[in-house]
Structure 1
Amino acid sequence: MRKPEPVAPPRLPIALRAAVSTAIPVLLGWAAGDIGAGLVATLGAFTSRFGIGRPYLSRGVQLAVVAVALAAAVAAGAWAADIAWLGVLTISAVAVAAVWLCTALAVGPPGAYVFVVACAAGVGVSASHLSPGRIALLVLAGGAIAWVLQMVGAAAGFRRPERAAVRHAADAVAAYLEDIGGPGQDRARHRAATALHQAWTILVNHQPLAAPPGSELARLRAATHAVHVLFADAMTTAARGQTPEPDAAGVARALGTLQAEPDTIAHRDPDRLPLGRPPILGLLRQALQTGSQTRRVMVRVAVGVPLAGYAAVGLGVDRAYWAMAAAVLVLHQGTPLWRTLRRGAERLLGTWIGLGLAAAVIVVHPQGWFLALVLALLNFAIEMLVTRNYLLASVFITATALTVGTAAHPLDPGQVGHLLLARGLDTLIGCAVGLAVYAALAGRQETRRLGDAIARTRAAIAATEPFVAAGDAVSLPARAARRDLQRATLDMLEAHEAATGGSRDQRAAADRQWPDVVAAEHASYETIAALWAIEQR
């Protein structure tokens, strides 16, 4: 029985883009006789890490905003570099703001961490004695190169990301149809609901322009609507203890590849505007509300990052921003306890191993095209490994950072040893402070997370009941209530998964509240299925 895998673009083209995005600024700087300027511009190559999997038009807008934000972050770091305490406060402010914006607006990986690294790097590149304005322009130029390389794939298939999302959702629904009545039914249902939510996000939220009737985007929306109807009907069938039609899974997969006519399953009014996500200001306000997971993570970052910075300054470490970047890495994703501990340990061990590789590169001191090749290979390795083995990726991340920081000026052996020792020490400080802050705050913060998520799901169910009673599934308030209910249900399941990976008390609470989670999940999907049935009638 074929199970759908998460939508994960192949790493090879991503790694190639990262490598070329890094090499071009270095080569241009070498050709212009200013290798230092080329190295500063490589900070803009971080732009190539964003937008993966997004539709190309939305990707272009997002990447442009990211490039400008990176340039501003680096310039802010350079502006505050001369005063240690001001640099710590600036990086801390950028960290908190980046967590807020990236999480609330679902920017996607690598998220807030990159902007903090960029700001911290701005403190380091201030030694080049370039003005913050010129530094920002160089980073923006590097971002423009990365933008072009990210967007060049549109020539090979402008709607390729949308097609992949619809196909993945259809496969997930087909797998659920095949699993009904089996032990994996609930898990398959959750995967299908998540995949459909992602597909609608890509087809609606990530579309800056309207879809003309008859366009490929309109056909993909119609196919996804039909797949969603199949999913809703299957949930109703499963609730009655019945099994779906034998060919239902095949129909779902055919819809996902546009090989079946959607109108044979359900007709979607092409004149009805699709309901997108809530307004941006609303999302930002929700992220700041009491009980929001984004707010919890922001508090951890607001405490941990400056503590790491001031601890490094107090211990005499000359580049405290490395410690701050390490603390952000540990804290910014809001992962459960064991995943957080693992990420911190991987970063620490990877950094220490990477110091050896960095030492070899620094001693060789590559220049010109050789430097561009070395940095390209290092970034290629990072992108190939970062999703599969973060420990190994950290080895190359460390070597890359130290190569960029030292390539413009050769170091004598004594300076190399001091640099490596300092980098290992401040990474240890940052990881230790990040884990200590997590241990001090997360236990108390996470205690109510699952209970709050269950309560929000029940409230969302109650908000949809008047529309079910009135037989209204197509008005704007009814569709908004259905959207909010699905999002609340997915958040609740995510909160339960986090609790199962948390502390002993959190795992015990997850076990106690599991019946409530199951009941709320079933009620939610029954309500959603009822609304879909009303819409079809």
Structure 2
Amino acid sequence: MLIDHAFTINKRPLPWTKAISAGICSGIPVLVGLLAGKFEYGLMAGIGSFTYLYVFNIPYAQRAKKLFFALLGMSISVGLGTLLAPFPIASALVVGLIGAIATFIFGALRIAGPAAIFFVLGFAMATGMAIDPSLAPFRAGLVSLGGGLAWVIGMVGWLRNPYGPEIIAIKKTYQDLAHYIDSVGTNRSDETKRRLVSTFKSTEDTLSAGYAAWRSSEPYIQLILLYERANEIFVGVLDKNEMVPPQLLTAIRNIAVEELIKEPLGEIDHEINISKPSLKRIFNDSFNRSSLVLLTAIRYGVVLSIAAIVAYSFDFNRSYWITLSCAAVMSGSSIISTFHRAIQRSLGTVVGILIATIILFLHPEGIVIVIAIVILTFLTELAIVLNYAIAVLFITPNALLLAESTTPLQHAAYFTTARITDVVIGSVIGLIGTLLIGRRQASGLLSDLMVQTIRSQQQYLFLLFSKHRTGLDFKPFLERNAMKTHSNNLRLVYTTALGEMPSRKIALESFNPAIDSIEHLGYLLEACQKYADRPTLSDESLAQLLLVFETMAAAIEHRYPLSMKHVPEIQAFSKIQQEIIHLQKHIQMITAQSESIP
């Protein structure tokens, strides 16, 4: 069953545009080097072209920074690999540090992409080149040129449609809103509501990432207004809990965002306030002993260093392939996905190495290598959305061409055997390291994060409805950001925990209704803070609400059955009251069997 799942083909649209652009990025540096008579320089710059693989559908303001730091990290990694090549132990420690830092940053900032793998690749490939530490700045410079080209190609869409990612996010919000409204009163309602709340959070993150105080243009403001209107419609439907007129549903489905943002704002009140936590706050939240991001980064770095030490301690040919394979395998987010990666990496690489051996054994000329690199990169980007094992068929020969093209292949059988051995050893080390170090990290954090999230919602609710809120600006509140951070971490930890212990998957799945309810409650609390006329609750009502939340948190924390408490009415915000009641019921079911709590 696990092995079959590792080779499941995902049904996703193929990213043709990204694949073509990635192929262009990889081919141009090598072609320029070939035409200039410095083919090996072109191959070196080609390493920087991997920067384009960090392009995802995120706002261009965020994409520009992400790609810049990706090319900077790639250049530094190659420079450090060149400097430390004569010192195996130092190289092993530094490659682990690179992997840990990259994993932590990508996890803390919740950045989609291949994370540490290509930084590790750049460092490892540099250690396998001709040893000459004095070439570190030069090699890093060549990589930065290839990365700079990838940055330009990655940003070229900004000229045509500067708000493309934000528009796509708004469209998806309205599509999911229409699906939810259409499902009201059916057995699909809970599922579509959960998906819509998740979409709202994702869209808010997208709009926040694209915000810059110095360029709040009219199109961007209109996108914010469209997002807020979608929120208002959702809250209105929740309050009424009845079917909406067909005309409204049709209007929501057919909303044409591109046309709407071309309309002048006119008399619309377009004052907006975007609040997002500082980088310092984000990293502080992730840098604590109960953070899954930190624990995962430490595990990644430690196991990677162990793999590098093993590789350097024995007489392996081109030993850095062991480190690369270990890094790729550990890119899985859980035990199960790591196991899948190990299978996919091992079997996919065997075929990929055979492809690379055939190409190299034919002693291709420069232009043939350029074409092969372009085609392999193109196929990698198409295949990665289908299945990692298929992508590895093209990733492996592509990396081998960049690394081995300037070295004549004399013994094909030896070359193939050495590479396959390296991959198997690296994959086994990555899998064993993941199994031995923190194999139950996520499940061990689940109950603590539920408690933290519930208590942060308790604090935020108190601030929303207490008499002490007068004159306070709620958008930048630390309590609101803390609540969102805990909620996001809770979902991440829960998803990861499901992949850790297949034997306990059924028990863990019983937590899903409670986690869904926590997320929905957090959304309702955020939504109601936009209403200045929300009621001020009496001290007695607030005290009872605080008791309800503390009782839920304590029941999970101390593992005893939850007794239902009365939830006071919140005038005009009955959905919050109802959701708290639902959450009590879900937690009561979990705590009824305390042994099921991790």
TM over 0.5: yes
Query: Residue 388 of structure 1: which of 386, 389, 395 is its match?
Result: 386
Q: Please, what TM-score do these two structures have when normalized by structure 1?
A: 0.89
How far did 1:27 drift? 1.1
Give the aligned partner of residue 3 of structure 1.
none
Tell whether the 8 Å contact from 1:77 to 1:119 is kept in structure 2 after alignment. yes
CA distance in 2, matches of 1:348, 1:271: 55
Which residues in structure 2 correspond to 1:507-522 (within 5 Å)? 507-514=505-512, 516-522=514-520
Please name the residue that 1:199 is paired with.
203
Residue 109 of structure 2 is matched in structure 1 by: 105
The residue number in structure 1 matching 2:415 is: 419
1:272-304 CA-partner distances (Å, limit 9, x unpaired): 42112x111221122221211101211211221
Aligned pairs (5 A) from 1:77-476: 77-127=81-131, 131-212=135-216, 215-238=218-241, 242-255=242-255, 257=257, 270-276=270-276, 278-333=277-332, 335-412=333-410, 414=411, 416-470=412-466, 475-476=472-473
Write the distance in 2 (CA, Å) between the matches of 1:453 and 1:100. Answer: 19
Amino acid at match of 1:396: F
- Are 1:351 and 1:395, in contact at CA under 8 Å, matched by a contact in 2? yes
Identity %: 22
Larger-gyration structure (1/2) = 2
What is the rounded CA distance, in whole Å, between the counterparts of 1:150 and 1:525 in structure 2? Answer: 33
Q: Residues 50 and 147 of structure 2 are in contact (CA less than 8 Å); yes or no, is this contact kept in structure 1?
A: yes
Q: Residue 473 of structure 1: CA displacement?
A: 10
Q: Answer whether contact 1:235 1:529 (CA < 8 A) is retained.
A: no
CA distance in structure 2 between the partners assigned to 1:73 and 1:360 by the alignment: 30
The structural deviation recorded for 1:42 is: 0.2
Separation of aligned partners in 2, 1:196 and 1:121: 42
What is the CA–CA distance in structure 2 between the aligned matches of 1:350 and 1:52, rounded to whole Å? 24
**In structure 2, C-alpha distance between the alignment counterparts of 1:160 and 1:128, rounded to whole Å:** 45
Classify 1:259/1:400 alpha carbon distance in 2 versus 1 (closer, same or farther; 3 Å): closer
Change (3 A) 1:405 1:353: same
Counterpart of 1:389 in structure 2: which amino acid? N
Q: CA deviation at 1:444?
A: 3.3
Partner amino acid for 2:220? L
Could you tell me whether the CA contact under 8 Å between 1:310 and 1:320 is conserved in 2?
Answer: no
Which segment is superposed worse, 169-178 or 462-471?
462-471
Measured after TM superposition, the shift of residue 466 of structure 1 is: 1.6
Unaligned runs of 5+ in 2: 1-9, 535-571, 573-598
How much has 1:486 moved relative to structure 2? 4.2
Residue 63 in 1 paired to residue 67 in 2?
Answer: yes
Q: Displacement, 1:526?
A: 4.2
Inter-partner Cα distance in structure 1 for 2:268 and 2:120: 44
The alignment covers a number of residue pairs equal to 520
Q: Which amino acid aligns with 2:108?
A: A
CA contact (8 A) 1:385 1:393 kept: yes
Tell whether the 8 Å contact from 1:95 to 1:301 is kept in structure 2 after alignment. yes
The answer to whether the 8 Å contact 1:473/1:531 transfers is no
TM-aligned CA deviation for residue 479 of structure 1:
5.6
Deviation at 1:339, TM superposition (A): 1.9
CA contact (8 A) 2:60 2:210 kept: no
Q: Deviations over 1:40-65 (max 9, x none)?
A: 00011011112321222332232222
Separation of aligned partners in 1, 2:520 and 2:72: 44
2:22 is equivalent to residue 26 of structure 1: no
CA offset digits 1:294-345 (Å, max 9, x no partner): 0121121122111212222334213332222222222245x23222211111
Cα offset for 1:532? 4.6
Quickly say closer, same or farther: Cα 1:246–1:498, change in 2 above 3 A. farther
Range 221-230 or range 315-324, more displaced:
315-324
> Does the 8 Å CA contact 2:194/2:516 hold for their aligned counterparts?
no
Moved more, 292-301 or 482-491: 482-491
The alpha carbon displacement at 1:39 in A equals 0.3
CA contact under 8 A between 1:447 and 1:506: conserved in structure 2? no
CA distance in 1, matches of 2:169, 2:256: 9
| Amino acid of the structure 2 residue aligned with 1:440 | L
The aligned amino acid for 2:232 is V
Query: 1:255 Cα deviation (Å)?
Result: 5.0
Gaps of 5+ in 1: 1-5
Q: Quick check: 1:45–1:142 contact (8 Å CA) kept in 2?
A: yes
Distance in 2, matches of 1:89 and 1:516, equals 42
Identify which range, 191-200 or 96-105, moves more after superposition.
191-200
Matched letter for residue 54 of structure 1: I
CA drift of 1:372 comes to 0.8
Asked if the contact 1:344/1:435 (under 8 Å) is kept, the reply is yes
